[in-house]
Homo-oligomer: A and B are copies of this chain.
Amino acid sequence: MTDFVRIVEVGPRDGLQNEKQAVSTADKISLVDRLSATGLRSIEATSFVSPRWVPQLADAAEVFAGITRRSGVSYPVLVPNEQGYERALAAGVEEVAVFTAASETFNRTNTNAGIDESLARFEPILRRAGADGIRVRGYVSTVLGCPYQGEVPVADVVRVARALHAMGCYEISLGDTIGVGTPRKARQMLEAVAGEVPMEALAVHFHDTYGQAIANIAACLEAGVRVVDSAVSGAGGCPYAKGASGNVASEDVVYLLRGLGLESGVDLEQLAGIGRWLAALLGRPTGSRTGKALENA
């Protein structure tokens, strides 16, 4: 087990996607560029979903064209289908991410397709990506609970993660979309998936809805995961719990890693400054406790 933990910064995509306050294209570009200077290795830059679904990210192509890509940093973008893949490819991306839920009900409600249909839609994307030299990351959402069906059997998470991996996704991010997980269940879920997909190909993605995200990450790091998704300033909310906290804050994750003697390569003070800048832009206090603590330090 290595001591290096790669943080996948999802603030510019998963964070902003769930923020009501409109952010200008220039500010989105500035956000990605600032993050690029902190030592982060992966920054999810935007999403090529239909602007009708996510108006906040309608300027995906402009954002991607505007950012300064730094060598050694990946800039994945979300794509929901082949049209999204084509737009992303035209924009010059080198990595895309596809997503499906582990909960059948959630997937049907959110994408109008069953899980198997979603997986089938990804096959041509994965095939083309292979030919185009594009890396593909896979997201599995609702891995610890679903707003519609409640419990999600671990076997369903394992099945979907295995399918995405078998299809060619180099990494599968396991997402607790509604933030209901607690450490023991999070670890058990991760270990079940790791029985079928190598741990090196897994990432964890927690939302802090119930304040459990850092504890869940700590438990999963102990189980061996070495890739963690998070969003600077804890950007994003929860569409299923109005007013709730969003993604786990990257600053708090970096603080945790530091305390555990794990290396992320990220400059915490610089990151916290970006978090406060973003929070001001969004017109709300930072969602990072570390960010708050460092503000007046």
**A residues near B, CB below 8 A?**
179, 181-185, 208-212, 214-215, 217-219, 238, 241-245, 249, 252, 255-256, 258-261, 288-290, 292-293, 295-297
Contacts and interface: CB of A to CB of B under 8 A. Distances in A.
Contact of A182 (B185, B259, B292, B293): B259
Contacts of A245: 289, 292-293
Nearest to A256: B182
A81 B149 CA distance: 56
Contacts of A214: 211-212, 214-215
Contact of A252 (B183, B211, B259): B211
Contacts of A258: 182
A92 B13 CA distance: 58
Contact of A249 (B209, B211, B219, B242): B211
Contacts of A260: 182-184
A153 B278 CA distance: 38
A255 B218 contact: no
Nearest to A297: B241
B211 A259 contact: no
A295 B243 contact: yes
Contact of A210 (B181, B219, B255): B255
A295 to B, nearest CB: 6
A228 to B, nearest CB: 13
